[in-house]
Amino acid sequence: MEDGFAGLDAVVNVAGESIAKRWTEENKKRFHESRVGVTDDIVAQMAALPDSERPQVLVNASAVGYYGDQGEDILTEESPMGSDYLAGLCEEWEAAAVKAEELGVRVALGRIGVVLGKEADAWTRMKVIFKLGAGGRLGDGKQFWPTIHLDDVAGGIVHSLETTEVRGAVNLVGPNPVTNAEFTRVLAEVLHRPAIFPVPPFALKLVLGDFANALLASYRAQPTVLERTGYEFKYAKLKPLLESLN
């Protein structure tokens, strides 16, 4: 439908099949098509429109997986990309969206972290495990988890739409990143459950395959662009964030 975006001021694309499953070749094809393929189609539809009818801004999802595992390094939007599978997927995804700039469209690339909301997949899975008293850190727990409340994902997207200064990469993560061990400790406290069953890397990889690498990787991402352009987080600290979901 070539005129599907005609007359719209903005387009937000957060499409992408969940990567929280085994990374089989078939699933990788789905990951790619639901991200890169869908974004290519959106830009193609914009290109088919007269200049006067094109949206002025595209906010397109990406992920902090762009950076790869960089340990304790603080990751801003200017940090280099990683070299693993997820980094490559994110690079292609972002490149597809950036093509809209050639059409005069402002493009913001929302590099999203671990989204926590009452209905969010990550939260519902973790809550069940911890409620059963079977929660614990993943591996040594030293990896940074860039969490963000679903409300702040939505708020960051709206901010990116409305703030013309926002262009290019935007880390959609909370401003106070914590390690997986600290996340586990606070979550156990909020849920009033023990967290005494650490999951060794080999067990994660046995169950989840290559996806386990994403859970064990460290992404100490900071929302530098959002903070610089005046976005105020609704949930800046981890404990209030988790308490709002319980």
Q: What CATH number is given to the structural domain containing 207?
A: 3.40.50.720
Q: Is residue 211 part of a domain?
A: yes
Closest CA to 61 of 25, 23, 18: 18
- List of E strands, 141-200: 144-145, 147-149, 168-172, 178-179
Identify the domain containing residue 206 by its residue range: 10-245
User: Is residue 241 predicted with pLDDT exceeding 60?
Assistant: yes
Q: 144-156, pLDDT tens digit by residue?
A: 999 999 999 999 9
Mean residue pLDDT across the chain: 94
Q: How far apart are CA 145 and CA 164, in angstroms?
A: 29
| Structural domain total, the chain | 1
Q: How far apart are CA 152 and CA 71, in angstroms?
A: 25
Q: 162-205, pLDDT tens digit by residue?
A: 999 999 999 999 999 999 999 999 999 999 988 888 889 988 89
| Distance (Å) of CA 116 to CA 57, 68, 150 | 26, 21, 6
Q: Is residue 230 part of a domain?
A: yes
Amino acid letter for position 126: M
Q: Lowest mean pLDDT: which of 31-40, 127-136, 143-152?
A: 127-136
Q: Is residue 209 part of a domain?
A: yes
Q: What is the pLDDT of residue 124?
A: 86
User: Is residue 3 predicted with pLDDT exceeding 70?
Assistant: no
Q: Is residue 183 part of a domain?
A: yes
Work out the percent of the chain whose per-residue pLDDT is above 90. 82
User: Is residue 90 predicted with pLDDT exceeding 50?
Assistant: yes
Beta carbons of 174 and 152 less than 8 angstroms apart: yes
Q: Is residue 5 part of a domain?
A: no
* Sequence-separated (6 or more) residues with CB below 8 Å from residue 29: none
Beta carbons of 213 and 204 less than 8 angstroms apart: no
User: Is residue 122 predicted with pLDDT exceeding 90?
Assistant: no
Q: Is residue 228 part of a domain?
A: yes
Beta carbons of 57 and 8 less than 8 angstroms apart: no
Q: How far apart are CA 187 and CA 166, in angstroms?
A: 33
Q: Is residue 111 part of a domain?
A: yes
β-bridge pairing 74-75 and 10-13: unpaired
Work out the percent of the chain whose per-residue pLDDT is above 70. 99
- Residues forming beta bridges with residue 74, ordered by sequence position: 220
Closest CA to 66 of 86, 50, 46: 86
User: Is residue 2 predicted with pLDDT exceeding 60?
Assistant: no
User: Is residue 1 predicted with pLDDT exceeding 50?
Assistant: no
If phi > 0 it is left, if psi is from -120 to 50 it is alpha, else beta; for residue 75 that is beta
